[in-house]
Amino acid sequence: MCELFAMSSSHPATVTYSMREFARHGGLTSDHVDGWGVAYVEDRDVRVFRDTDAAAESPYLQLVSAVEVRSSTVISHIRRATQGEIALRNTQPFARELGGRVHLFAHNGDLHGIDGQPELQLGCHLPIGETDSERAFCALLHRLSFLWRESREIPELTERLRVVVDFASEIRRLGPANFIYTDSDAIFLHGHKRRKSRDGVIRPPGLHLLCRSCEVTPGPIEIPGLAIGSETQRVVLAASVPLTGEGWTPLAEGEVVAAREGEVIQ
């Protein structure tokens, strides 16, 4: 299955994916060789880098490693294809406009039969590719449209969270449904279950969470594949597989968490 990673921080931070560490997850120590992507939220817009090559072989990964983009919200995805051919249109994270800002979505799992679900209507949000993940994203945006179209202001977080929770409960019936979604304001994390590399069994947890309060330090805080600048920070990290030996907390099966500015808020 694919791997997900996300960061929410109280101040814009540089998130540096080293060629060595990201390549390890994208073809050296696992079979996630069908593309990768990373997106950095910047106000209402995003910077998105994606490629169809395995991370271990992608020349674009060197560019991402060299460019120190600062952002308070980052989402990344390493793909192992289960639905849809290996093509840029099927590479995550997916990005769409809604309510005058860019929304991002990345999914890990396999949603069997999502095309035939009458409750998962797409409205005007049509997929570009053939993946179940993108179709799920379009269905989520359709659910959220009535909140964002009614006002120029950002809808209440509790209302957005309610829609995401209801949506997550429905797609879980179709298969593993771990996903990370952001509307450029808050980030929503849904942990379900995923295939374990040790025995191949699909079971919880599907996402792990790490919350850190980082005091001012002489230099940057570093973990493999990630570097956070040295200013005082609150940071929430989410990953399919814990990135360090620290105390990552597994999300319960079906748990949805909302975070903003480096804090879990719902």
Which residues are marked as active site?
2
CA distances to 52, 141, 199, 206, 209 from 202, rounded to whole Å, are 26, 28, 9, 9, 19
Provide Rg for the chain, Cα atoms.
Answer: 17
- Residue 89 burial class via C-beta count within 10 angstroms: exposed 0-12, middle 13-18, buried 19 and up: middle
Distance, in Å, from the CA atom of 59 to the CA atom of 54, rounded to the nearest integer, reads 10
Distance, in Å, from the CA atom of 61 to the CA atom of 49, rounded to the nearest integer, reads 9
Is residue 80 within 8 Å of 31, Cβ to Cβ?
A: yes
- The pair of structure tokens assigned to 50 is 């994606």
- Cis omega (within 30 of 0) for bond into 118: no
CA distances to 105, 186, 237, 245 from 229, rounded to whole Å, are 25, 21, 15, 20
Amino acid identity for residue 65 in this structure: S
Backbone angles phi, psi at 219, to 5 degrees: -145, 180
- Residue 1 burial class via C-beta count within 10 angstroms: exposed 0-12, middle 13-18, buried 19 and up: buried
Is residue 102 within 8 Å of 44, Cβ to Cβ?
A: yes
